């Protein structure tokens, strides 16, 4: 069906600038999300399979069918050094689409990690490999290889639109997607923000109140806040 | 609107007796909950953001609006040494209301931790700080500062009624609220219970059955339990 | 009521062959589940209460009533060395049916761990004991001892049918049930599978693609996959 | 246990003024909730068991144990004409605590309906009776009568604090609780609001924009809204 | 894989006695569930796709794969007059496995309705046909025909074990499964129960309290219930 | 923040061809979704607020902030005859963003209905108006007007990407989005499909099996399906 994005592998994708990716890898998801103007975040049901997992890279996108991981094998061939596999599914499925063998293959091809709006398995092995995976579920349930999806088409993954080549940043706080075209701009904004925070942190640590540091007392009073005893 | 609890900061609150709080800090949530007669527990969706987080203190309550953390900044000023911020929201929201900067500020003002029926972020930093947070979600999604809620009004947080000054005890098993007026009484009951348990534990470890230790055989038979081969 | 399975304790149960259990204990849940032909898995909401928990043993089944853990005490007496308590509930309940004292008793009677489609508590203590528990929830909420359920009747636990004596294997990936009658057969199939995987892993690690190793290129083309630039 | 609210039936409760209740029965839940300043609403998981169910009355509160409806029978005796039974549970349970026989009894005693943060059953019969029930679930699962809860103690029901005698208003939009002490005040505010709305409705129906009617253009511009082509 | 139940169609199944099925069709799910001793109920997430749907028949069971409805087509051939298709899935999937065309086929083959622990679609058409369907979800998402499941093997559907030939009773209150072997016995017990209820209903309608009718006052007092003013 | 899509109202949008929209309005969501190649469907949590609600039109998109419906008022001005408001939110919120007054305004401006990944209220009034609304929740909880979102930017609504001007089709089966550029093509494919179905329906109604009509027997046998007695 030509109208649909299914059954397609796009080989030539434009990846975000490597320097921007490297710079973004220095900031946390919360900082990057703020730097982008609070857009691009995946739903909070996406969690790391082990605490402390952390991941930044360029997206190779995958559209899966429920209970079917065929396209992850197709995606492996499209990986370049520094890529991250971002897998969405045509409908919600907690099955264990991804595990240790695929991780071994992805890593061998330059893949840095996986973000999948579905289930992952082999948590113990993936933890030992320190291969970062962010998923909606953990499940030992295996999948078939029977129905076509796509690779490197735009996908909606856990509520966020991802184009192939976009930058994906993931840590304990969640997963954020930075469009390739503004990666450097966001990285710079994140840096500014980070520098700013050091200053604020020091003030707050010394006992200064946010009420004063951010000048909130007047707008609060204007909004009608009343102090009572 | 005078009927509503919104837009108010109560400064003078009566905190539970410090000695009772200290005593309660020695017991787990399950013990305290039992000692109170099995009431006062928050819903099990409230989880520590890192394993092993543990928290006891007096409640400074906050009523938030969805996607808005203004009142947490207002609450910082009301904190005294040994307080815990208990934040409810007027409707369910997983946004990241609370993070490292606020934690820095709360700690500087004597705050021991946070219980929030909403989202938290900066999990890695909060873990490094060992600042205990119990929340319904983790999310990098930032919040605005636009709409009034309240500080130190009674709130329903994750299904539990909390008055400012109540004792809050939280650990890996959940979060329990002890009304200030019965804090000492509950602490004493918890102590009795804890002492009792050591004894039971030793018996059970030696192979004695609960069936015998608790005298259950007769009531089970009376209820009609049948043993078959 | 004779039609119902409630109010019964079956003492004489046939446990799976010990050698098969021992052999199964060497494989992960994902491997065992694949070896069985992808059946017998519990729902992915069953999670270990601490990371790395791992458990293999023969099932002593329990049918609980919501908010009531009486039958767990009855089950303790039926435990033999190498058993695992598998507890289902007549309706969903997150209450803390199981905690440290019962764990102490179960361990003293030979029990290796617990799988409960309900809540557990005393997470800190159970972690210290390294007593593996897989549950649908963690909750400090205590339970009563008032209504009969059953012990060693067939139960549906988290979507999986479990007969007393079946083998239960649980790890970070979930919980799978192996019927006693095919335990050895499954163990052997798991071994074959495991051996196979080492080979595949090596190939994938060297950069060979699953597309080639599994011979997927032809079926993909036949299904209509199109590569575009 | 004297600290706990369990095991108590309070007979003498102060009900909200009947005239205020009657007046409140003329307004929808959304109007009443707004009139109160946007507090007092139960969680949106509370739904009518049939479309169009509608209910206003004074609360007789019940605290249930999971899977146990004993206290609903105790509550029947405490009902007076115009009362509504508001049932909370010590932990979440979808069991069918309430059905046609209890409805028959409640109605015979003057009860107007039920709000239960648990399950209801006999939906077909209750619909035929036009007995309004708002619940978190529908389930045929029966309950036992074995463990004490309480009647006419303050309860947290679906996230809202309810005192015996408070006014409860429920319709297709949800359930709101009006404290007895401010029932008349809220009823009057609801009336003002309702009158106001007729006017607004007419203007909007004629094509006037909310942007103009509410004077939003300036604050939007000030907040930075940009119109682009 | 011979260990697994997948890839099998059992043609010769023993259906419950027709007279017992007819008798059971006169009672509601709640009554049948009580008559069986409170077992055999599916999870409350199973809901009719239109209010008032009602269904009794003998089970033809189906085990589906997620996102794949191939086996429903296989099941059509196995239907006999008075059968109901009970479809489970190897993992949770809300896809629209079942719709109007299959309903047309099932009805032509004698099928009375469908119970599916998955999604259904064509709700408007199925309602017009008055073809009763009970499902976990409604979804327009289509499914593929690519992977084998089974027909007429025992399945766990929405938490209930179903053998082919068992009686399934479904109405607005949920879905209950009666093993074929005890269908007559349960039907008789349901009749007794129903007759009993008429009597109780009349008493309660006249104002008699359950407290008195069921003789609860003494056990309540013994359990420690206290009346206070 | 120029990187973000927040704070923008796009006035000039290209709507899908009216004839294509009219043609699409004759088909159900399931048919349109199939005709598109099974993409573009919103998540199944999107439900009509009254049974039988049905809606086809061109999208005016809105990006809301949680608990804030300011942008819906902004959107009213952008409506043209035949439009549908598609509202997404920067994070999940069940608040009652939309109700009768806004419906009155939208209808006066040519709006046909609303699809909102949030809560709606005034269900009784909207039903009386027969104003079709599809939402993730029903809630009486009111919202503020304090923080900017956007109008007519691309949004992800309930998992589906929507551009302003796209066609939205909604009925009891869910909500599907047809990109404006392929609206006519999809409408034609839907027509073909619909015509095809009449034929299939007649055959199935006469007792022909899908197994034969679709030629499934051979592929089933090849996949290894075994019939046993």
pLDDT tens string, chain A, 229 residues long: the values are 346 678 999 999 999 999 999 999 999 999 999 999 999 999 999 999 999 999 999 999 999 999 999 999 999 999 999 999 999 999 999 999 999 999 999 999 999 999 999 999 999 999 999 999 999 999 999 999 999 999 999 999 999 999 999 999 999 999 999 999 999 999 999 999 999 899 999 999 999 999 999 999 999 999 999 999 9
Mean pLDDT for C58-66 is 98
- Judged by CB atoms closer than 8 Å, whether chains meet at D124 and E28 is answered as yes
Closest-CA distance of chain B to residue A17, Å:
24
Q: Is B38 helix (H, G, I), strand (E, B) or coil?
A: coil
Using CB atoms and an 8 Å cut-off, which of residues 168-227 of chain F contact chain E? 171-174, 176, 197, 200-201, 204-211, 214, 216, 219-220, 223-227
Query: For a pLDDT cut of 70, what percent of chain D falls above it?
Result: 98
Can you tell me the ipTM of this complex?
A: 0.95
CB contact under 8 A, A39 and F6: yes
- Pick the range with the lowest mean pLDDT from A191-200, E13-22, F207-216: A191-200
Which among C188, C169, C185 is positioned nearest to C177, based on CA atoms?
C169
Could you tell me the pLDDT band of residue B15, with boundaries at 50, 70 and 90?
very high
What is the rounded distance in angstroms from the CA atom of residue B94 to the CA atom of residue A11? 38
Among candidate residues A206, D181, E125, the one with its CA nearest the CA of residue F204: E125
pLDDT of residue F11 exceeding 80:
yes
Please judge whether B161 and D156 are an interchain contact, meaning their C-beta atoms are less than 8 angstroms apart. Answer: yes
At D2, is the pLDDT very low, low, confident or very high (cuts 50, 70, 90)? very low
Q: Which chains does chain B touch, 3 or more C-beta pairs < 8 A?
A: A, C, D, F
Task: Say yes or no for a CB contact (<8 Å) between C39 and E159.
Answer: no
Instruction: Give Cβ neighbours of residue A149 (< 8 Å, ≥ 6 apart).
Output: A6, A7, A62, A63, A64, A65, A68, A70, A71, A90
Please give the helix or strand (H or E) that residue E54 lies within, else none.
none
**Are the beta carbons of D140 and E225 separated by less than 8 Å?**
no
CB contact under 8 A, E91 and A146: no
pLDDT value at position A54? Answer: 97
Residue in F51, F99, F105 nearest the CB of D209: F105
The answer, yes or no, to whether residue C5 has pLDDT greater than 90, is: no
Residues of D in contact with E201 (CB under 8 A): 100-101, 104
What's the mean pLDDT when you consider all of chain B?
Answer: 96
Please give the pLDDT value at position F2.
46
Are F44 and E137 within 8 A, CB to CB? yes
Quick: pLDDT tens for B25-81.
999 999 999 999 999 999 999 999 999 999 999 999 999 999 999 999 999 999 999
Chain centroid offset of residue B213 CA: 32
Q: Which residues of F touch E139 (CB under 8 A)?
A: 41, 44, 173-174
Contact at CB, C38 and E90, closer than 8 angstroms = yes
Of F173, F201, F204, the CB nearest to E123: F173
pLDDT at B2: 47
- Count CA within 13 A, CB hemisphere, residue A13: 27
C chain contacts of residue D146, beta-carbon cutoff 8 Å:
144, 146-147
pLDDT given for residue F5 in this prediction: 77
Q: Per-residue b/e over B136-155, b at no fewer than 16 CB within 10 Å?
A: bbbbbbbbbbbbbbbbbbbb
Which chains contact F through at least 3 pairs of Cβ atoms less than 8 Å apart?
A, B, D, E
**Is C204's CB within 8 Å of A101's CB?**
yes
**What's the average model confidence in pLDDT over C69-86?**
98
- Chain C residues touching E92 at Cβ < 8 A: 43
Q: Note whether A37 contacts B: Cβ–Cβ < 8 A.
A: no
Please check whether residue A43 is in contact with residue F92, taking contact to mean a CB–CB distance below 8 angstroms. yes
Q: Is the pLDDT of residue E3 over 90?
A: no
Q: Which of D4, D140, D152, D164 has the most E C-beta neighbours within 10 Å, making it the best mutation to test the interface with E?
A: D140
Predicted pLDDT at A188: 97
- The per-residue pLDDT for A3 is 62
Point out the residue among B67, B90, B92 whose CB comes nearest to the CB of F65: B67
Whether F156 sits inside 8 A of A154 (CB atoms) is no
pLDDT of residue D3: 61
Q: What is the pTM of this model?
A: 0.97
**Res. C1: pLDDT tops 80:** no
Q: In whole angstroms, give the CA distance from residue C49 to residue B211.
A: 26
Alpha helices by DSSP H, listed for B164-223, are 183-205, 210-213, 217-223
Is the Cβ pair A105, C210 closer than 8 Å?
yes
| Cβ count within 10 A of residue D202 | 11
Q: Residue D156 and residue B156: Cβ atoms within 8 Å?
A: yes
Structure tokens at D108: 């015979």
Instruction: Say whether residue B146 is in contact with chain F using an 8 A CB cutoff.
Output: yes
Confidence (pLDDT) at E35: 95
Chain C: residue nearest D65 by CA?
Answer: C67
**Which pLDDT score, from 0 to 100, does residue C3 have?**
62
Give the pair of three-digit tokens for residue C171. 């790890």
Q: Which residues of A touch B119 (CB under 8 A)?
A: 44
Across-strand partners of E20? none
Q: Which of A94, A98, A95, A131 is nearest to A112 (CA)?
A: A131
Torsion angles phi and psi, residue C45, rounded to 5: -75, -10
Q: Which of B91, B93, B118, B143 would best serve as a mutation to test chain F binding (most F beta carbons within 10 A)?
A: B91
- Does the distance separating the beta carbons of A207 and B101 come in below 8 Å? no
Residue E190 has pLDDT above 90, yes or no: yes
Res. E99 pLDDT band, cuts 50 70 90? very high
Average pLDDT rounded to a whole number, residues F144-171: 98
Cβ atoms of residues B54 and B158 within 8 Å = no
Q: What is the pLDDT of residues E133-151, one digit of tens each?
A: 999 999 999 999 999 999 9
Q: Which of residues 42-71 of E touch C (CB under 8 A)?
A: 43
CA distances from C35 to C22, C54, E29, E200, F227 (A): 16, 19, 39, 55, 23
Pull the structure tokens for residue A126.
């993936």
SS3 state at D202? helix
Contact D67 C93 (CB under 8 A): yes
The verdict on a CB contact (< 8 Å) between D44 and F141 is: yes
Dist CA D154 CA D60 (whole Å): 10
Any CB–CB contact under 8 A between A100 and chain C?
yes
Mean pLDDT across the stretch C47-75?
A: 98
Any chain D CB within 8 A of the CB of B80? no
F7 touches chain D (CB under 8 A): yes
Using CB atoms within 10 A of its CB, is residue E61 exposed (0-12), middle (13-18) or buried (19+)? Answer: buried
What are the backbone dihedrals phi and psi of residue E13, each rounded to the nearest 5 degrees, phi first? -120, 155
Contacts of F168 in chain E (CB under 8 A): none
| Closest CA of chain C from D67, distance in Å | 6
Determine whether the interchain pair A160/F160 forms a contact, defined as Cβ–Cβ distance below 8 Å. Answer: no
Give the C-alpha separation, F70 to F146, whole Å: 7
For residue C2, pLDDT beyond 60: no
């Amino acid at each position: 069906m030509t109208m649909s994005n299914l059954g397609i592998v796009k080989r030539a994708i434009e990846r975000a600038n490597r320097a921007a990716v490297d710079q973004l890898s220095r900031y946390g998801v919360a900082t990057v999300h703020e730097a982008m103007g609070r857009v691009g975040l995946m739903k909070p049901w996406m969690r790391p399979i082990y605490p402390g997992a952390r991941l930044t890279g360029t997206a190779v996108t995958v559209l899966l069918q429920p209970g079917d991981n065929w396209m992850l094998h197709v995606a492996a061939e499209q990986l370049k050094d520094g890529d991250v596999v971002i897998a969405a599914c045509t409908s919600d499925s907690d099955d264990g689409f991804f595990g240790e063998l695929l991780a071994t293959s992805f890593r061998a091809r330059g893949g840095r990690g996986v973000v999948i709006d579905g289930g992952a398995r082999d948590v113990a092995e993936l933890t030992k490999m320190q291969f970062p995976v962010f998923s909606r579920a953990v499940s030992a349930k295996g999948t078939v290889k029977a129905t076509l999806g796509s690779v490197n088409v735009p996908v909606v993954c856990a509520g966020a639109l991802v184009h192939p080549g976009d930058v994906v940043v993931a840590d304990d706080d969640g997963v954020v997607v930075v469009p390739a075209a503004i990666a450097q701009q966001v990285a710079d904004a994140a840096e500014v923000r980070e520098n700013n925070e050091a200053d604020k942190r020091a003030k707050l640590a010394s006992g200064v109140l946010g009420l004063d540091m951010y000048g909130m007392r007047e707008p609060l009073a204007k909004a009608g806040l009343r102090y009572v005893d």
